[in-house]
Chains A and B, each alone.
Chain A
């Protein structure tokens, strides 16, 4: 908050990412509590978004496109198979509300069908996955999360209500370290490839949390909106 004799421009400061420390915390608290303030922040984000047109383009390295495609192939099944796997997983998830969470966990751990187009090496014995039940803070059925250390992926089943024009973002919090973003959670089943830098934050006892963020995720790299669900990973 600015001193009382100064006009209030905190929405712009937050939208631009100028604040840190206590000022940022205060502005975030306001964002969570004051819908007018939140709308004002959104309006500033839209305004500043127009400035992206001015950003000079720089050709990305030639090799990068194929590297990205390779990582889609390597870390995930081919899109068609992935889709089918997800449809099945979604079906499983829709039963999950009626069944015990443990059943969902079991389904989550089933390997994806191997893509037929890709030669599959027989994998070495994989490290055990970590599991968490991410309970909504407002009550309701928990989401099931499974972390696969071999693929560095997190899979989540179940759905969480996300306000229009907002994104739900998943965070890993290990001990007293700062939260690390694992990516955005869709309305339905989600599979996230954990960024390399965030992998060391995932272990047994790491807390997973979901916060409500602006579209596209937190602009600051730390949670900026209310935390709506949390759970602890166990081996």
Chain B
């Protein structure tokens, strides 16, 4: 993985933090800046989890209204701005999807393709060494376990949904994921 230029990454993040804080003061220009800097990332999240373009657009709309109203509660010392925004998008998308009753088609493979770490990454907004560390540790665990963990994160799937998608018994899926998470924890603790 190529390492981003830390100064430009820090500048991009600082610009987003500032725009988010000003949005909390009801600054409409700052809100537009937040939208420009983040809408592609957040739409990617909504689209992936909702698996429905219209649904993803509605959720994204709702996400930015939430951001507008909630920006004053953002605490830069607690969370990176993109993680804060992305968490809202992921949560709202999962809410939306769980309200839909339709079955999901082949989500695991799709999530896997999306989560390929060799793909271009948004290194200007998240430039943590943590990101590199997490990838190193994910790479170190067994592929089947890694794949299930990625699907859970990127698809917003529960154990039951993962098992259904992979057509394996629930106990088997739990065992894969738990072993993967234990290995991940061991690796992340050792690397800290």
Give the contact-size bracket for chain B: 35 or more
Q: Chain A residues with Cβ under 8 A from B39's Cβ? A: 59-60, 64-65
Q: Would you call A53 and B158 a contact (CB within 8 A)?
A: no
**Chain B interface residues (CB < 8 Å from chain A):** 25-28, 32, 35, 39-45, 47-48, 57-58, 60-62, 64-66, 68-70, 72-73, 75, 78-80, 82-84, 86-88, 90-91, 94-96, 98-99, 114-115, 117, 119-123, 125-126, 128, 130-131, 133-134, 149-150, 152-154, 156-160, 162, 177-178, 181-182, 184-185, 188
A222 to B70 Cα, complex, angstroms? 19
Q: Chain A residues with Cβ under 8 A from B184's Cβ? A: 12
A-B contact pairs, 29 of them (CB 8 A): A9-B178, A9-B182, A12-B185, A13-B159, A16-B181, A19-B159, A45-B87, A47-B130, A49-B87, A50-B83, A52-B87, A53-B122, A55-B122, A56-B119, A58-B44, A61-B57, A64-B57, A67-B61, A68-B35, A68-B65, A72-B68, A79-B27, A165-B78, A167-B73, A186-B73, A191-B69, A197-B96, A216-B91, A219-B90
Q: Would you call A220 and B94 a contact (CB within 8 A)?
A: yes
A192 to B65 Cα, complex, angstroms? 9
A192 to B69 Cα, complex, angstroms? 7
Interface string of A7-40 (1 = CB under 8 A from B): 1010011001111100000000000000000000
Sort A-B residue pairs by CB-CB distance and give the 6 closest, nearest first: A79-B26, A57-B40, A53-B126, A221-B95, A49-B83, A60-B43
